[in-house]
């Protein structure tokens, strides 16, 4: 498949974790390419919504797309990373259901729009190319709305160049501090840098932190109105983010408020890979939580349903692994399995309370017994674990 061959030939920072490239990075080259494709291809002007933040932006983006499509709007969703195939990153939602593009459709579109000018795209990164490709793909699908989940930050994120009509800010936490800053305030400023002169609204999860509230309210943004919405704490973070998404759309589409309020959390399809039940007996649940705040939230949620359970944890090399381990102390863990396979980081010193229950694994067959027992299993730390665990479950089922 030419599309995938070309995509995989590009520099993939998500995989290499070589974030040094951002030290002198600018959006200038990509911006010029956006101007080129806009001049060459027919680009309609749907309503575009950018979603930025540290935690919750993936599920919020999903629920925004789901709700809009239930209201009858054809909606494109650009999101990252993916679980099994990069085609998941640019989906069209219809009637609340996400539709992953078919390979032959993507291949045909690639040949039509990209291949004639391939040289112009060869210097792009994996994420940059997918962003501009999705921009063109959504235009070809005549989407009414487009939801753009930012990648790493905001100010220098490729998705900034779609020039969103509205920006949604989710929870701010410490992550990618070597790039975005070592405080929540610095990180928040980087995220807010996605705002452009065409933006009409900034809607944010109330950070419940006076310094962040002040920063968001006073960020230089012309006359863009700011709306801070407190979160309704529910048994699951997914329901909390669903209700926030519903509030966002009620603000942006006030005429649709009665219809939005009639849509319940239970009736909307949940995003794949977020507290997803991969197996029922024993229960195996996957979530990509990968920083201390998110790990604590998901583990606490799982612990409400299970008196004791096993936790499989993998973390990429640039993450705060010590911080993650520290928040796990006190949970009713039967066992903690640290995945240190290829591409993942090694966990160094363990908190004393975790030492007696912890084992380390580097090969997939070492994980097999975990899925053959009776203990519930929570899998956290990285999207890359999803395929590994799904394959092991399938192998166990076929035994």
Structural domain boundaries enclosing 315? 276-398
**Residues 318 and 392 placed together within one structural domain of the fold:** yes
**Residues 146 and 237 placed together within one structural domain of the fold:** yes
**Final residue in a domain of this structure, among 248, 267, 286:** 267
**Residues 29 and 58 placed together within one structural domain of the fold:** yes
**Residues 259 and 346 placed together within one structural domain of the fold:** no
**Residues 280 and 251 placed together within one structural domain of the fold:** no
Domain CATH code at residue 375: 3.90.190.20
Which pLDDT value is given to residue 380?
98
**Residues 326 and 261 placed together within one structural domain of the fold:** no
**Residues 312 and 200 placed together within one structural domain of the fold:** no
Which pLDDT value is given to residue 399?
43
pTM of the full predicted structure? 0.94
**Residues 245 and 364 placed together within one structural domain of the fold:** no
**Residues 82 and 169 placed together within one structural domain of the fold:** yes
**Residues 283 and 256 placed together within one structural domain of the fold:** no
Q: Please list the pLDDT of the chain residue by residue as tens digits (399 residues).
A: 799 999 999 988 877 666 666 677 889 999 999 999 999 998 888 999 999 999 999 999 999 999 999 999 999 999 999 999 999 999 999 999 999 999 999 999 999 999 999 999 999 999 999 999 999 999 999 999 999 999 988 999 999 999 999 999 999 987 765 667 779 999 999 999 999 999 999 999 999 899 999 999 988 777 899 999 999 999 999 999 999 999 999 999 999 999 999 999 999 999 999 999 999 988 999 999 999 999 999 999 999 999 999 999 999 988 899 999 999 999 999 999 999 999 999 998 999 999 999 999 999 999 988 888 789 999 999 999 999 999 998 876 554
**Final residue in a domain of this structure, among 267, 291, 322:** 267
Domain CATH code at residue 65: 3.40.1190.10
**Final residue in a domain of this structure, among 216, 249, 267:** 267
**Residues 184 and 287 placed together within one structural domain of the fold:** no
Three-class DSSP labels, the chain = CHHHHHHHHCECHHHHCCHHHHHHCCCHHHHHHHHHHHHHCCCCCCEEEEEECCECHHHHHHHHHHHHHHCCCCEEEECCCCCCCHHHHEEEEECCEEECCCHHHHHHHHHHHCHHHHHHHCCCEHHHHHHHHHHHHHHHCCCCEEEEECCCCCCCCHHHHHCCCEEEECECCCCCHHHHCCCHHHHHHHHHCCCCCCCCEEEEECCCCHHHHHHHHHCCCCCCCEEEECCCCCCCHHHHHHHHHHHHHHHHCHHHHHHHHCCCHHHCCCCCCCCEEEEECCEEEECCCCCHHHHHHHHHHHHCCCCCEEEEEECCCCCCHHHHHHHHCCCCEEEEEEECCCCCCCCCCCCHHHHHHEEEECCHHHCHHHHCCCCCEEEECCCHHHHHHHHHHHHHHCC
Number of domains in the chain: 2
**Residues 306 and 260 placed together within one structural domain of the fold:** no
């Amino acid at each position: 498949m030419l599309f995938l061959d070309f995509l995989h030939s590009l520099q993939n920072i998500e995989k290499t974790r070589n974030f040094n490239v951002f030290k002198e990075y600018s959006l200038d080259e990509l911006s010029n390419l956006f101007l080129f494709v806009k001049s060459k291809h027919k680009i309609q002007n749907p309503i575009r919504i950018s979603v930025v933040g540290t935690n919750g932006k993936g599920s919020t983006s999903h629920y925004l797309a789901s709700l809009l499509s239930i209201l009858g709007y054809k909606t494109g969703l650009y999101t990252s990373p993916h679980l099994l195939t990069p085609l998941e990153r640019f989906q069209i939602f219809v009637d609340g259901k996400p539709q992953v593009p078919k390979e032959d459709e993507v291949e045909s579109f690639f040949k039509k729009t990209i291949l004639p000018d391939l040289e112009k795209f060869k210097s792009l990164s994996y994420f940059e190319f997918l962003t501009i490709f999705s921009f063109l793909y959504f235009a070809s699908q005549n989407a009414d709305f487009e939801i753009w989940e930012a990648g790493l930050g905001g100010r220098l994120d490729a998705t900034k160049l779609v020039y969103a009509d509205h920006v949604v800010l989710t929870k701010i936490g410490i992550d990618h501090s070597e790039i975005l800053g070592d405080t929540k305030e610095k990180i928040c400023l980087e995220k807010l840098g996605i705002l452009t002169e065409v933006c009409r609204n900034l809607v944010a999860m109330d950070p419940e932190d006076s310094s962040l509230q002040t920063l968001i309210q006073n960020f230089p943004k012309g006359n863009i109105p700011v709306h801070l919405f407190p979160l309704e704490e529910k048994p699951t973070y997914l329901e909390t983010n669903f209700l926030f998404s519903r509030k966002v759309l009620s603000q942006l589409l006030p005429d649709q408020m009665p219809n939005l309020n009639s849509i319940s959390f239970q009736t909307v399809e949940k995003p794949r890979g977020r507290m997803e039940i991969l197996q029922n007996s024993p229960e195996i649940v996957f979530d990509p939580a990968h920083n201390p705040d998110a790990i604590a939230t998901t583990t606490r949620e799982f612990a409400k349903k299970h008196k004791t359970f096993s936790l499989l944890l993998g973390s990429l090399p640039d993450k705060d692994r010590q911080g993650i381990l520290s928040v796990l102390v006190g949970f009713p863990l039967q066992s903690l399995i640290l995945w240190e396979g290829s591409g993942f980081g090694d966990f160094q010193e363990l908190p004393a309370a975790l030492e007696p229950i912890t084992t380390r694994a580097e090969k997939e067959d070492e994980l097999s017994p975990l899925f053959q027992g009776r203990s519930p299993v929570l899998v956290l730390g990285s999207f890359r674990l999803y395929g590994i665990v799904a394959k092991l479950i399938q192998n166990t089922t076929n035994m």
